[in-house]
């Protein structure tokens, strides 16, 4: 029987099932006693499980570099520290020796006690530590029971990974040559698994439910990420049909990728600049290889993460110059430091906050830590002598902040003048529109900014009051909500009224169906993960601006999200 899921990453994957085992039932170990003569053996068994768990974390950390965010990697560093935690470890040794509990039972009891101690302190930080202890306990338990996650880094045949859910640890270690698809019980399209699958361009189904438990290792599986269905052990004719479909789909993808050198213009000749979002200078090459015509967002905060000192002016200058030189005269928007929210750095000593997304982040930090801000601005200005760089401030919520940031930029310019250093004195200065107050007052901001870039990732979460990290409420996080669309329209109209350019660098811009609406609303530039550029280019080239504008008008008049979704689906099928 076929199993329905949510298509989270398009394409068709065919391979043998590799089922990730769920952890064994803990209950049966809780009261399991040992003999006094078994104490040493049980202690050795426990110590070996801890050593294996440490090795497992080490492997993850190595594989995760460059794949996961620094914050996610640090989780495993913290777990490793807990493996040496004397309170936890002494307690377990004591339970084995003095209460004659088996290693698993001792572990379960100690984890429960330490967790309760932390939770009793009623402090957010301690609550987090309690969760960490729980996770580390789970991993030691899996090691003790011989259930360590399957080694997905060395698969020998085309495989489909089947699991309740995939953790960052599972996904970083995937053998990319042989993983042809994922199917998981949990999650929605914005879940971590879904995002990684899209980034890796692997067909994936999420939200398949408990039906997935019927799949056995070695079953032949077809993941249809387009229709959202999993086909176990297909009949030969179905398999043949899907092999043909897969070939056809792959041909289409190659065809789309071959649009790389074609211009990004609508059927009636309107230019829409397609640019890439990057986090490291090296990714600029990827933007060019996918046919991108600029950098719409360089998330410079990644230069500040994963290290124990601040990047110097020279180091930053080299990074920005590299981008400028790779991209030659193409426009490159360098966004100033956007730390805070989900991108925390130990370097800046930001105290833990109740609401980090509403707290001390981005431009708010830069306007307080002037030296850090000015160092970055000098580095950007110096690099502006080597290409077509623009500077952009994140999280601007009012005109006063923009003025203050521009005043600091002026100071940075004067300092370079004193040092007789060359830079582009007319560098364009823009802002991200990602706070609702900025979107509503875009007409005022447009008078003093050279360009806008709409950051829908944050604009959506602030407009809809939906935390972008909270999976329980992802269904509410929809950029096609009419409230968000009206704000976007307001920003575009205000920018054009003042004759300044307006782009979008939030995830919304990477969806070809949405792109049509955004073009119709009048955006000048769309910036996205490099892999999405060819798909959006195809959408641009297949529609006239006149038609896109009509679609946008209809969408705004429909008002209801579901109706807007259907409209865009129908329209995308029409060409």
CB 452 to ligand PEP: min, Å: 12
The pattern of x and - marking residues 490 through 509 that bind ligand PEP according to CB under 6 A reads ---------------xx---
Binding to ligand PEP (CB under 6 A) within 334-363 occurs at 338
Tell me how far apart the alpha carbons of residues 52 and 9 are, in angstroms, rounded to a whole number. 34
The answer to whether residue 458 forms part of the interface with Mg ion (CB under 5 A) is yes
Q: Dihedral sign, CA of 61, 62, 63, 69?
A: positive
CB 434 to Mg ion: min, Å: 5
To the query of whether residue 505 is one of the catalytic residues in this protein, the response is yes
How do strand 159-163 and strand 179-184 relate by DSSP bridges? parallel
Tell me how far apart the alpha carbons of residues 153 and 196 are, in angstroms, rounded to a whole number. 16
Nearest to 516, CA basis, from 564, 560, 446, 474: 564
Binding to Mg ion (CB under 5 A) within 363-382 occurs at none
- Report, in angstroms and rounded to the nearest whole number, the Rg of the chain calculated over CA atoms: 26
Q: How far is C-alpha 155 from the chain's CA centre?
A: 26
CA dist 250 to 288, 289, 547, Å?
22, 19, 29
- Paired strand residues for 184: 163
CB 435 to ligand PEP: min, Å: 10
Question: For residues 70 and 338, which CB has a smaller minimum distance to ligand PEP in the complex?
Answer: 338
Nearest to 518, CA basis, from 492, 537, 541, 497: 492
Question: For residues 3 and 323, which CB has a smaller minimum distance to ligand PEP in the complex?
Answer: 323
3-state secondary structure of 18: strand
Report the partner that residue 170 touches, choosing among Mg ion, ligand PEP, none (CB closer than 5 to 8 A by kind). Answer: none
Question: For residues 249 and 477, which CB has a smaller minimum distance to ligand PEP in the complex?
Answer: 477
CB 92 to ligand PEP: min, Å: 42
Report the partner that residue 505 touches, choosing among ligand PEP, Mg ion, none (CB closer than 5 to 8 A by kind). Answer: ligand PEP
Nearest to 177, CA basis, from 149, 150, 199, 200: 200
C-beta neighbour count of 125 within 10 angstroms: 10
Tell me how far apart the alpha carbons of residues 77 and 49 are, in angstroms, rounded to a whole number. 18
Tell me how far apart the alpha carbons of residues 456 and 476 are, in angstroms, rounded to a whole number. 14
Of 178-186, 397-405, 454-462, 493-501, which part binds Mg ion (CB under 5 A)?
A: 454-462
Residues 6+ apart with CB under 8 A from 249: 10, 11, 12, 226
Question: For residues 266 and 463, which CB has a smaller minimum distance to ligand PEP in the complex?
Answer: 463
Counting residues that bind Mg ion (by CB under 5 A) gives: 3
CB 456 to ligand PEP: min, Å: 5
CB 561 to ligand PEP: min, Å: 19
Question: For residues 140 and 435, which CB has a smaller minimum distance to ligand PEP in the complex?
Answer: 435
Q: Which of 105, 207, 387, 455 binds ligand PEP (CB under 6 A)?
A: 455
CB 461 to Mg ion: min, Å: 9
Q: Which of 109, 115, 198, 299 binds ligand PEP (CB under 6 A)?
A: 299
Question: For residues 53 and 461, which CB has a smaller minimum distance to Mg ion in the complex?
Answer: 461
Question: For residues 39 and 429, which CB has a smaller minimum distance to Mg ion in the complex?
Answer: 429
* Residues 318 and 304: beta-carbon distance below 8 Å: no
Q: Which of 208, 366, 460, 505 is catalytic?
A: 505
Question: For residues 283 and 434, which CB has a smaller minimum distance to ligand PEP in the complex?
Answer: 434
CB 539 to ligand PEP: min, Å: 20
Number of H helices, E strands in the chain: 21, 16
Counting residues that bind ligand PEP (by CB under 6 A) gives: 10
Q: Concatenate the DSSP letters of all residues of 461-478 into one string.
A: HHHHT--TT-GGGGGG--
* DSSP letter assigned to residue 282: T
Of 88-96, 186-194, 240-248, 453-461, which part binds ligand PEP (CB under 6 A)?
A: 453-461
CA dist 244 to 201, 249, 260, Å?
19, 9, 26
The answer to whether residue 456 forms part of the interface with ligand PEP (CB under 6 A) is yes
The answer to whether residue 301 forms part of the interface with Mg ion (CB under 5 A) is no
The answer to whether residue 64 forms part of the interface with ligand PEP (CB under 6 A) is no
Q: Dihedral sign, CA of 265, 266, 271, 275?
A: negative
Q: Which of 178, 192, 398, 496 is catalytic?
A: 192
The pattern of x and - marking residues 391 through 430 that bind Mg ion according to CB under 5 A reads ----------------------------------------
Tell me how far apart the alpha carbons of residues 131 and 528 are, in angstroms, rounded to a whole number. 34
Alpha helices in 293-420 (DSSP H): 313-327, 363-366, 370-383, 399-418
To the query of whether residue 366 is one of the catalytic residues in this protein, the response is no
Q: Percentage helix, strand, coil, to 5, in the chain?
A: 55, 15, 30
CB 505 to ligand PEP: min, Å: 5
Sheet with 220-224, edge to edge strand ranges: 3-4, 229-232, 220-224, 12-19, 159-163, 179-184, 204-206, 6-9
The pattern of x and - marking residues 84 through 103 that bind ligand PEP according to CB under 6 A reads --------------------
The pattern of x and - marking residues 383 through 422 that bind ligand PEP according to CB under 6 A reads ----------------------------------------
Of 92-100, 396-404, 450-458, 544-552, which part binds ligand PEP (CB under 6 A)?
A: 450-458
The answer to whether residue 455 forms part of the interface with Mg ion (CB under 5 A) is yes
Tell me how far apart the alpha carbons of residues 305 and 70 are, in angstroms, rounded to a whole number. 7
CB 308 to ligand PEP: min, Å: 23
Binding to Mg ion (CB under 5 A) within 429-448 occurs at 434
Question: For residues 278 and 505, which CB has a smaller minimum distance to ligand PEP in the complex?
Answer: 505
List residues near ligand PEP by CB under 6 A: 297, 299, 338, 434, 455-458, 505-506
List residues near Mg ion by CB under 5 A: 434, 455, 458
Question: Hey, which residues are catalytic here?
Answer: 192, 505
């Amino acid at each position: 029987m076929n199993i329905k899921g949510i298509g989270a990453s398009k394409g068709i994957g065919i391979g043998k099932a590799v089922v990730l085992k769920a952890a064994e039932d803990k209950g049966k170990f809780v009261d399991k006693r040992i003999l006094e003569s078994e104490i040493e053996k049980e202690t050795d068994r426990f110590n070996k499980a801890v050593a294996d768990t440490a090795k497992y974390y080490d492997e993850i950390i190595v594989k995760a570099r460059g794949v996961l965010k620094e914050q996610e990697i640090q989780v495993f560093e913290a777990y490793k520290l807990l493996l040496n935690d004397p309170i936890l470890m002494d307690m377990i040794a004591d339970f084995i020796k003095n209460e004659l509990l088996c290693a698993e039972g001792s572990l379960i009891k100690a984890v429960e006690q330490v967790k309760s101690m932390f939770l009793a302190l009623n402090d957010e930080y301690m609550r987090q530590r309690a969760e960490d202890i729980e996770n580390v306990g789970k991993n030691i338990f899996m090691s003790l029971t011989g259930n360590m996650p399957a080694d997905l880094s060395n698969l020998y045949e085309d495989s489909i990974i089947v699991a309740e859910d995939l953790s960052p640890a599972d996904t970083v270690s995937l053998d990319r040559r042989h993983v042809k698809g994922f199917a998981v019980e949990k999650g929605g399209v914005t879940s971590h698994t879904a995002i990684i699958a899209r980034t890796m361009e692997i067909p994936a189904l999420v939200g398949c439910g408990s039906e997935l438990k019927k799949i056995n290792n070695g079953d032949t599986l077809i993941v249809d990420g387009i229709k959202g269905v999993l086909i176990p052990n297909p009949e030969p004719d179905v398999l043949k049909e899907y092999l043909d479909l897969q070939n056809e789909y792959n041909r289409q993808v190659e065809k789309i990728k071959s649009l790389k050198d074609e211009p990004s213009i609508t059927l009636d000749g309107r230019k829409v600049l397609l640019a890439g979002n990057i986090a490291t200078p090296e990714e600029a090459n990827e933007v060019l290889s996918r046919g991108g015509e600029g950098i719409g967002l360089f998330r410079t905060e990644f230069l500040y993460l994963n290290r124990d000192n601040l990047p110097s002016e020279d180091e930053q200058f080299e990074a920005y110059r590299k981008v400028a030189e790779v991209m030659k005269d193409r426009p490159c928007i360098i966004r100033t430091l956007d730390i805070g929210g989900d991108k925390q750095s130990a370097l800046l000593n930001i105290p833990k906050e109740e609401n980090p997304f509403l707290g001390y982040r981005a431009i708010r930090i830069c306007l307080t830590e002037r030296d850090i801000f000015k160092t970055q601005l000098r580095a950007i200005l110096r690099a502006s002598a080597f290409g077509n760089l623009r500077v952009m401030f994140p999280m601007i919520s009012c005109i006063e902040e923009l003025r203050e940031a521009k005043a600091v930029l002026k100071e940075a310019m004067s300092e370079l003048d004193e040092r007789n250093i060359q830079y582009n004195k007319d560098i364009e200065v823009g802002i991200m529109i990602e706070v609702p107050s900025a979107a509503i007052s875009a007409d005022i901001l447009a008078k003093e900014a050279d360009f806008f870039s709409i950051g829908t990732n944050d604009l959506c979460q602030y407009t809809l009051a939906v935390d972008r990290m909270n999976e329980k409420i992802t269904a509410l996080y929809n950029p096609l909500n009419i409230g968000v669309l009206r704000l976007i329209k307001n920003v575009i109209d205000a920018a054009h009224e003042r004759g300044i350019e307006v782009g979008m660098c939030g995830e919304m811009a990477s969806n070809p169906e949405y792109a049509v609406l955004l073009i119709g609303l009048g955006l000048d530039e769309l910036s996205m993960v490099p892999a999405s550029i060819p798909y959006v280019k195809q959408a641009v080239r297949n529609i006239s601006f006149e038609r896109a504008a009509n679609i946008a008008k209809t969408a705004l008049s429909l008002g209801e999200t579901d109706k807007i979704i259907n409209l865009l689906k129908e329209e995308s099928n029409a060409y």
